Amino acid sequence: MHQQLRGSPLDNRKVDAPGVAIDENVLNFYLERQNWIAGKTIEWQRYNAAQSRLLPNTAKLEKKEKDKIRVTVTTDIGPNLYDLRAGDRVVLRMEAAGAEQFALADPVKQ
């Protein structure tokens, strides 16, 4: 795991995990590569360097439309919504606590 605490240099850490453990920097990559089907729940753990422990996370398909997949990710902080493009599953938008956190710019509209 590569972790960086605020004001500290990047550090490699080892952690024994009884399953999949990813860090926040690879979350979109992880979500984009899952096979999203109705009723499937994906589980993994995230290493929290500040607390020196693994925290459980889950994701499930919330809604599937023709052009978009909506995934709910539940963490220790709360639920987040991710919109992925249906064809190539690229993360288009992320919402936390009802507020948009980021959206992928549409190159066609620029």
pLDDT tens readout for residues 35-69: 888 888 999 998 777 777 888 999 999 999 999 99
More confident call, 19 vs 101: 101
Strands (E), the chain: 2-3, 11-12, 21-22, 41-48, 53-64, 68-74, 79-85, 91-96, 99-103
Percentage of residues in the chain having pLDDT higher than 90:
30
**Torsion over CA: 56, 47, 71, 97 (sign):** positive
Q: Are 43 and 58 in contact (CB under 8 A)?
A: yes
pLDDT tens readout for residues 70-85: 999 998 888 999 999 9
81 alpha-carbon distance from chain centroid: 9
